[in-house]
């Protein structure tokens, strides 16, 4: 699952090595993003692993239940009217990138509208 939040962009997957321990691997392209997630919502995760991976240089592994709880807390913390504006308040680069993603995802709109 890809998830864009006000604190960062993450890819959450279950790697083969996650199955036995019922863990999930959370991957990020930005160290700041993975550190913010770990600090705010996933203290129960293992250490941040750096490098030696595919296109996500940072990752943590956390119990599935902890990731589920983190997603619940992230949703509970929503207090903004406009997501991209909320991101831009503390990370202008992420706001710019998220806007580009938003524009590309308009291609999925099946009714021809753009709003």
Q: pLDDT per residue over 91-105, tens digit each?
A: 999 999 999 999 999
On whether residue 25 sits in a domain, the answer given is: yes
Summarize pLDDT for 29-86 with one digit per residue, the tens. Answer: 999 999 999 999 999 999 999 987 778 999 999 999 999 999 999 999 999 999 999 9
Q: Which helix (H) or strand (E) holds 114?
A: none
Structure tokens at 22: 């019922």
* CA separation for the pair 66, 105 (Å, rounded): 29
Output the pLDDT for position 52: 73
Same domain, 60 and 87: no
Same domain, 18 and 59: yes
Output the pLDDT for position 114: 60
pLDDT category of residue 111 using cuts at 50, 70 and 90: confident
Domain holding 106, by residue range, is 81-115
Same domain, 85 and 49: no
On whether residue 18 sits in a domain, the answer given is: yes
On whether residue 17 sits in a domain, the answer given is: yes
Whether the pLDDT of residue 113 is over 90: the answer is no
């Amino acid at each position: 699952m890809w998830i864009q939040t006000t604190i960062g962009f993450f890819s959450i997957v279950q790697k083969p090595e996650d199955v036995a321990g019922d863990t999930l691997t959370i991957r990020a392209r930005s160290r700041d993003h993975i550190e913010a997630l770990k600090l705010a919502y996933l203290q129960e995760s293992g250490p941040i692993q750096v490098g030696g991976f595919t296109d996500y240089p940072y990752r943590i592994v956390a119990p599935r239940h902890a990731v589920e709880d983190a997603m619940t807390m992230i949703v509970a913390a929503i207090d903004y009217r406009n997501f991209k504006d909320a991101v831009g308040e503390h990370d202008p680069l992420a706001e710019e990138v998220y806007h580009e993603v938003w524009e590309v995802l308009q291609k999925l709109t099946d009714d021809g509208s753009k709003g």
